[in-house]
Amino acid sequence: MIIVTGATGFIGSCLISRLNQENFNAIIAVDDFSREDKLANLEGKRILERVDREEFFDWLDGNYHEIEFLFHIGARTDTTEFDRSIFEHLNVEYSKKIWQKCIEYQIPLVYASSAATYGLGELGYDDNESLIPQLKPLNPYGESKNEFDNWVLEQERHPFFWAGLKFFNVYGPNEYHKSRMASVIYHAFCQIQQKGSMKLFRSHNPNFADGEQMRDFIYVKDVVDVFVFLMHHRRNSGIYNLGSGKARTFLDLANNTFRAMDITSQIEFVDTPEDIRDKYQYYTQATMSKLRSIGYSQHFKSLEEGIEDYVKNYLTPGKYL
């Protein structure tokens, strides 16, 4: 059996699809299954059992001997949520308990961290573990992910294999339910489809022109390929960046979305909302040499390749991965 927490979510459901492609069908899907808008992400997937996240540890105590691998993708990911108790429960304490169970039952573990841990990038975007205690995230979500990373690095006991993955800006199928937290590509597609035009945030940083803000965008299919690699690799435990390694502008993103939809670009700039303005990342780019150094050699899709596949094969026909 392979456990996937956050199974109904964006990345978790895409991972299950990828595992099914590899003929791993004894999937234990762990999540809060009360949100009906997320259940479509699991339709058609081969899943052995669904386990409520609050009942998961009791379930694991009774079934640990059958578990081959645990992917802990579940988390509260809303960067505009400021109730720290939610993050403390779901992102920190829950993750610590998973870590401890993986040690107790000798289960290899891959868990989701985030590039939100890097804050404004004052120390760069290098996944050197010695820098992690010095990072200054910009919101409670990033703080919770960094708190768990730091806790992991302080532990004397570990699962026999573990990896934390700092996701950069992931986009792709199955994010339909994410509302404000969905990728800019998803929002661009929806705006263009409805109005024939789209809005981008104006720059409030004198070092960046409007639309020239840069992010490391990574296609979700590349993300889940890395998961599968690590499941088979099971060596070189540590915390790794997971981005494309190439920063691109929001104008690149917008123009490629228009192009994939075969519509002439029409872009309007609007002020960045004040509630996120002082916490806005103007540049992110993952240093990917660490993952490459342990043998991961697959090509990461360019922004052009990812957007074309996402728009033409998923967004336009309304399909799921």
Crossing angle between the packed helical segments 94-104 and 56-63, to the nearest 10 degrees: 10
Mean pLDDT value across residues 1-15: 97
Provide mean pLDDT across the span 157-172.
97
Q: Is 202 annotated as a binding residue?
A: yes
Considering the domain 2-171+218-245+285-300 in this protein, what is its CATH number?
3.40.50.720
Of 150, 296, 312, give the one whose Cα is nearest residue 223.
296
Say if residue 234 carries a ligand binding annotation. Answer: no
pLDDT at 1: 97
Confidence band, pLDDT 50/70/90 cuts, at residue 180: confident
Choice between 247 and 35, residue whose per-residue pLDDT is larger: 247
Is 5 annotated as a binding-site member? no
pTM metric for this prediction: 0.95
For the chain, what percent of residues have pLDDT higher than 90?
87
* 32 annotated ligand binder: yes
The span from the CA of 16 to the CA of 214, in Å, is 30
* Residues labelled as active-site residues: 141, 178
Looking at residue 15, its pLDDT comes to 98
Q: Is 244 annotated as a binding residue?
A: no
121 is in an annotated binding site: no
pLDDT at position 79 is 62
Is 50 known as a binding-site position?
Answer: no
* Residue 30 annotated in ligand binding: no
Q: How far is CA 73 from the centre of its chain?
A: 8
CA angle 246–261–43, rounded 5-degree value? 85
Q: Quote the pLDDT of residue 177.
A: 93
Reported as a single tens digit per residue, the pLDDT across 14-57 is 999 999 999 999 999 999 999 898 999 999 999 999 999 999 99
Q: Any binding-site annotation on 16?
A: no
Between CA 216 and CA 300 the distance in angstroms is 12
Q: What mean pLDDT comes out for the span 131-143?
A: 93
pLDDT value at residue 91: 83
Least confident of 37-46, 220-229, 252-261, 278-287: 278-287
- Rounded to 5 degrees, what are φ and ψ at 248? -135, 155
pLDDT tens digits, residue range 73-129? 987 766 666 677 777 777 899 999 999 999 999 999 999 999 999 998 999 999 999
Cα–Cα distance for residue pair 112/168, rounded to 1 Å = 11
